[in-house]
């Protein structure tokens, strides 16, 4: 179904670590996030976690999704929009101070007989050593069809 390229986050984090000599603790936290098994992430996601999603092309998914169950429901609905394929490829991830991480991703989605990809930014907020909030903002005007069926 959908998956996060966790190895990419680790590679980027290791590259950042080489430049700064130490890995920011929030990057370590993000590296533990497993979108395929969100139930295993209860120790890193805040009990009051909020996923904010902005996408005028998918208004039925737009809005706030609360808790791990809300995030699981969001991805379930996103997966149902497509034909079972959703992939998140992390391009870059950087800590911003001690509270935020900004990730640049390229999402791939099978939908309406086509495979499309689109860029997005996800901003993660870390509070008390847990991921408390995230905002996903996709680039909806530059969606690319990479395979037509």
80-120 confidence digits (pLDDT tens): 777 666 788 889 999 999 999 999 999 888 877 788 888 99
Alpha-carbon distance of 137 to 59, in angstroms, equals 13
| Kind of pairing between the strands at 86-96 and 114-127 | unpaired
Nearest alpha-carbon partner for 56 in 145, 140, 144, 115: 140
- As given in the structure block, the two tokens for residue 149 are 């069926």
Nearest alpha-carbon partner for 100 in 71, 121, 74: 121
Half-sphere exposure for 69 (CA within 13 Å, toward CB): 2
Nearest alpha-carbon partner for 61 in 113, 15, 19, 2: 2
pLDDT in tens, 4-51: 444 445 555 555 545 555 788 999 898 888 888 899 999 999 999 999
Alpha-carbon distance of 144 to 149, in angstroms, equals 14
Q: What is the pTM of this model?
A: 0.81
Alpha-carbon distance of 108 to 89, in angstroms, equals 8
- As given in the structure block, the two tokens for residue 81 are 């929009």
């Amino acid at each position: 179904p959908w998956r996060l390229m966790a190895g990419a986050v680790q590679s980027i984090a290791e590259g950042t670590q080489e430049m700064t000599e130490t890995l920011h603790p929030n990057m370590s936290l993000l590296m533990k996030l497993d979108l395929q098994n969100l139930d295993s992430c209860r120790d890193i996601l805040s009990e009051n976690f909020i996923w904010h999603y902005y996408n005028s092309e998918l208004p039925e998914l737009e809005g706030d999704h609360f808790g791990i169950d809300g995030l699981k429901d969001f991805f379930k609905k996103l997966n149902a929009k497509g034909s079972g394929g959703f992939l998140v490829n992390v391009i870059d991830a950087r800590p911003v101070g001690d509270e935020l991480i900004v990730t640049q991703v390229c999402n791939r989605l099978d939908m309406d007989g086509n495979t499309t990809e689109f860029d997005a930014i996800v901003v993660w907020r870390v509070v008390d050593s847990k991921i408390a909030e995230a905002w996903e903002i996709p680039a909806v005007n530059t969606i690319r069809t990479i395979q037509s069926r």
